[in-house]
Amino acid sequence: MSTTPLRLKELSKKEDLLTGGHRLCSGCGAPIAIRQILLAAEMPIVAANATGCLEVSTTIYPYSAWKIPWIHTAFENAAATISGVEAMYKALKKKGKITERIKFIAFGGDGGTYDIGFQSLSGAMERGHDIVYICYDNGAYMNTGIQRSSATPLGANTTTSPAGSVIPGKMQPRKNLTKIMVAHGIPYVAQTTPAHWRDLMTKVRKALEVDGPAFINILASCNRGWRTPTDRAIQDSKLAVDTCFWPLYEYENGRLTINYKPKEKKPVVEFLKTQGRFKHLFSPENEHILERAQEIVDREWEALLREEAMWKAEEEKKEQ
């Protein structure tokens, strides 16, 4: 089978496997990412979806926006559910009841992935199923009305970490789930955003080509929770990358590649200031939180740079 080149002209001829008419909010980052993912796939996909915005808004009975086989069972178990689907595929393939090559994707938001679905995700990755788990991370429980999750950035105002007169929003930095997935020693782990569509689609293709588990973390803006106008999804994703709040990188068999290094790393406030959820941080008394946010970004970015340099040095040594 020939592979569709990652060019808009060719891609526009492919069928959209998530149809329009779903009830996700206008300006939501999630369906943009999902459409890119399904456009990137060159083989039949069966998907499992954790409970969340993406699930409830795309399958309001008797309608379904999905043109691929799709299953939702509960919130915390998209990885376990897709494990079962993949196991049945293996069983039926072994018996000759299925001959075609099918790949499996689980979708979850940050709540269903970083928090309640964390155990199930970790288990599925350790077991080595041939699946791709894709998290669309919008940084809070948006479906239930913007509650903080372990993916919520430091300082963010959410309905369960409200910016109050005593506590100015979420006081803990976000969990670095991508790195935790790297620690599972799986063949492919990556981070991307829908604003970087070619990067996203390349990563999806790599993840699908891998024999074994893969994990992709996609920053997906939510204008309701981020308190931004509905036309900001792409610009804000770009700012997340340009400030190194959300670097584009991948681990192939444990080897790190940073896919994009901004020529000039913007200060993290450039990403924060356009979003209402961080508005209170710009009061003088909260300046220390902005400083801490910058420190976290710097530390993580520098660690990535150091690690990549280490890999390069090691490879050069081997070549000599």
Partner 1 sequence: MGKRLAVTGNQAIAEAMRQINPDVCAAYPITPSTEVMQRFASFVANGKVDTELVTVESEHSAMSACIGASAAGGRVMTATSSQGLALMWEMLHIASGMRLPVVMTLVNRALSAPINIHGDHSDGMGARDCGWIQLWSENAQEAYDNLIQAIRIAEHDDVRLPAMVCLDGFIISHSIESMEFLSDDLVKEFIGEFKAKNPLLDVNNPVTYGPLVLPDYFMEFKRQQHEAMLNAKDVVLQVAKEFEKVSGRSYGLFEEYRLDDAEIAIVVLNSAAGTFKDVVDEYRDRGIKVGLLKPRLFRPFPYKEVAEALSGAKVIGVLDRADSFGGFGPMYMEIASAMMSNGTNPVMIDRVYGLGGRDFMPEHAAQLIDELKEILDTGKVTLYKDYLGVRE
Residues that bind partner 1 (CB under 8 A): 44, 46, 48, 55-56, 59-62, 64, 66-74, 76-77, 79-92, 94-95, 98, 100, 102, 119-120, 122-124, 126-127
Q: How many other C-beta atoms lie within 10 A of the C-beta of residue 26?
A: 9
Give 128 or 262: the residue with its C-beta nearer to partner 1: 128
Least distance from C-beta 184 to partner 1, angstroms?
Answer: 12
Give 41 or 244: the residue with its C-beta nearer to partner 1: 41
Least distance from C-beta 61 to partner 1, angstroms?
Answer: 4
Give 41 or 297: the residue with its C-beta nearer to partner 1: 41
Cβ(113)–Cβ(150) below 8 Å: no
Long-range contacts from 288-297, C-beta under 8 angstroms, 24+ separation:
289/154, 289/155, 289/168, 289/169, 290/155, 292/154, 292/173, 293/153, 293/154, 293/155, 293/268, 294/267, 294/268, 294/269, 296/154, 296/173, 297/243, 297/244, 297/245, 297/268
- CA 288 to chain centroid, in Å, comes to 29
3-state secondary structure at position 51 = coil
Least distance from C-beta 53 to partner 1, angstroms?
Answer: 11
Least distance from C-beta 217 to partner 1, angstroms?
Answer: 21
Q: Six-digit token pair at 295?
A: 């420190």
Give 60 or 183: the residue with its C-beta nearer to partner 1: 60
Cβ(135)–Cβ(108) below 8 Å: yes
Rounded to whole angstroms, what are the CA distances from 204 to 23, 79, 198?
25, 17, 10
* Ordered DSSP codes for 173-219: PPP-HHHHHHTTT-SEEEEE-TTSHHHHHHHHHHHHHSSS-EEEEEE
Give 51 or 161: the residue with its C-beta nearer to partner 1: 51
Least distance from C-beta 46 to partner 1, angstroms?
Answer: 5
Least distance from C-beta 119 to partner 1, angstroms?
Answer: 6
Give 130 or 137: the residue with its C-beta nearer to partner 1: 130
